[in-house]
Structure 1
Amino acid sequence: MRVLVIEDDQRLARLVARVLREEHYQVDQAHDGEAGLDLLLRGTYDVAIIDWMLPGRDGPALCRAARAARLATALLLLTARGQVEDKVAGFDSGADDYLVKPFAFEELLVRVRALSRRFHPVAPSLDELRNGELVLDLRNHTARRGLRSLDLTPTEWNLLEYLLRNAGQTLAKQQILDYVWSYEQDVQPQMVEVYISYLRRKLNAAGEPDPIVTVRGVGYRLEVDRV
């Protein structure tokens, strides 16, 4: 799952990102409102954790922009403001949840998991992504095809996760690039083709049918396997 942390306190942002990565979330960071808005509007994040007070644009402004763009991203607003009227203002701006500073990281993780279940339910289990015999175990961070384990690099994992979350949908190369290599500025579009070939090699190592379809001139699609 992909999380965006928008927090101008860089020490806190690093701590939050570290805690999330220890839970196997993929995390990007921004430290001001403008950079945060640019990343947020890419629409590639499952959850965004947004500080209220930011340079440039504040947290409620980012929430309003996300809702105006009809993003499916769940929005968690962080703030030192704990009054009822502040919470009402935060929810009115489009936030889905509200966490008052200082907070325990355990509570942050609980809220992120709850938002993920609410906005991005995974069937049949909240702990895995499954398409036929192809399974990503999100809790244990393991992958398999049938009984065969898949030894995936972090980039291959993120690519397969994105394909599984969008099984049956054709994904443009730029969409894949934005999701898998979101915050890396020097990645070329050809890297999508390279890593699709790496992933295919591992998925089909035992001679199984290739589940990834190349849509010429557009991108790739993971075929839905209902077996």
Structure 2
Amino acid sequence: MVKILLVEDDTRVASFVNQGLTENLYQVKTVNTGTEAVQEAMVNEYDIIILDIMLPDMDGFQICNLLRRRKLITPIIILSALDSPEEKVKGLQSGADDYLSKPFLFDELLARINAQLRRMEFSKGIIEFQRYAGVEINVDEQSATRDGKELNLSPLEYKLLLFFMKNREKALSRVSIAQAVWNIHFDYTTNTVDVYINFLRKKLDKGFSQPLLHTVKGTGYMLKAKEDGH
């Protein structure tokens, strides 16, 4: 179960957010001071931190800075009534991953949470997915080879291959690819995903008898080593 630390001193807002998250099957711990927030975040493991700015003992910007200095990488979403562009920039510069202004739509908060969870899942080490069908990923160098041949991938092509390696033998929609690799809402009027799939396909499959990157009609794409005759 996804664990969320909610830092909010307004009891009405805290109750509303807590109830909504709980109903969506998230496990929520609520604290109302910066001191408690820092202690909880450093002692216990959370998947997301939702952080108010105006707290009684220290502000959210200070909390962000402090947690990042202590090397905490947990995604932080600021949820604040301060909605000026300057405040949003300050929040992101202090180490927050996202900034949502009050009042807000709860569905948007859920979408922001899910986006951060996807990004964290993608950025985690993928040792178990580093080798497949002759393809090897070097995470430290952000490079890849197939049967020992260097693929010379661009940063986006590498990120795309990483996503396919992690989800090998699964049909992936253009929407899921766009959200995971570009972190954007998919626009059906753009062919960006298809263009980069073609770039990757040329480097991954060119010169090899067995293609790995396949088009799945009506769905999207799949990385799969197909057996002979299939």
* TM-score normalised per structure 1: 0.52
Q: Provide the residue aligned with 1:37 in structure 2.
A: 38
1:59 Cα deviation after fit: 0.6
Rounded to whole Å, the distance in 1 between the matches of 2:123 and 2:24 is 17
Rounded to whole Å, the distance in 2 between the matches of 1:75 and 1:52 is 12
Rounded to whole Å, the distance in 1 between the matches of 2:84 and 2:20 is 27
1:120 Cα deviation after fit: 2.7
Q: How well do the aligned residues superpose, as a CA RMSD in angstroms? A: 1.6
Q: Provide the residue aligned with 1:181 in structure 2.
A: none
Rounded to whole Å, the distance in 1 between the matches of 2:44 and 2:23 is 23
Q: Provide the residue aligned with 2:58 in structure 1.
A: 57
Rounded to whole Å, the distance in 2 between the matches of 1:42 and 1:71 is 11
Rounded to whole Å, the distance in 2 between the matches of 1:122 and 1:92 is 20
1:43 Cα deviation after fit: 4.7
Q: Provide the residue aligned with 1:15 in structure 2.
A: 16
Rounded to whole Å, the distance in 2 between the matches of 1:32 and 1:120 is 29
Q: Match for 1:81: what amino acid? A: L
Structure 1 residue ranges, 4+ long, deviating more than 3 angstroms after superposition: none
SS of alignment partner, residue 56 of structure 1 = coil
Rounded to whole Å, the distance in 1 between the matches of 2:84 and 2:43 is 32
Bigger relative contact order, structure 1 or 2 (CA pairs below 8 A, ≥6 apart): 1
SS of alignment partner, residue 48 of structure 1 = strand
Q: Provide the residue aligned with 1:69 in structure 2.
A: 70
1:73-121 deviation per Cα after TM superposition (whole angstroms, max 9, x unaligned): 1000111122111111111110000000000111111101111111134
Q: Which runs of 5+ in 2 are unaligned?
A: 125-230
Rounded to whole Å, the distance in 2 between the matches of 1:32 and 1:67 is 18
Rounded to whole Å, the distance in 2 between the matches of 1:7 and 1:36 is 9
Q: Provide the residue aligned with 2:94 in structure 1.
A: 93
Q: Match for 1:67: what amino acid? A: R
Rounded to whole Å, the distance in 2 between the matches of 1:122 and 1:93 is 21
1:115-159 deviation per Cα after TM superposition (whole angstroms, max 9, x unaligned): 111113499xxxxxxxxxxxxxxxxxxxxxxxxxxxxxxxxxxxx
Report the identity percentage.
41
Classify 1:3/1:73 alpha carbon distance in 2 versus 1 (closer, same or farther; 3 Å).
same
1:66 Cα deviation after fit: 1.2
The structure with the largest alpha-carbon Rg is 2
SS of alignment partner, residue 41 of structure 1 = helix
Contact 1:47-1:75 at 8 Å conserved across structures = yes
Alignment of 1:180-195 (within 5 A): none
Alignment of 1:1-227 (within 5 A): 1-121=2-122
Q: Provide the residue aligned with 1:155 in structure 2.
A: none
Rounded to whole Å, the distance in 2 between the matches of 1:60 and 1:25 is 25
Q: Match for 2:114: what amino acid? A: R
Rounded to whole Å, the distance in 2 between the matches of 1:85 and 1:74 is 21
1:30-79 deviation per Cα after TM superposition (whole angstroms, max 9, x unaligned): 01111111111225011000001001111111111111111121000111
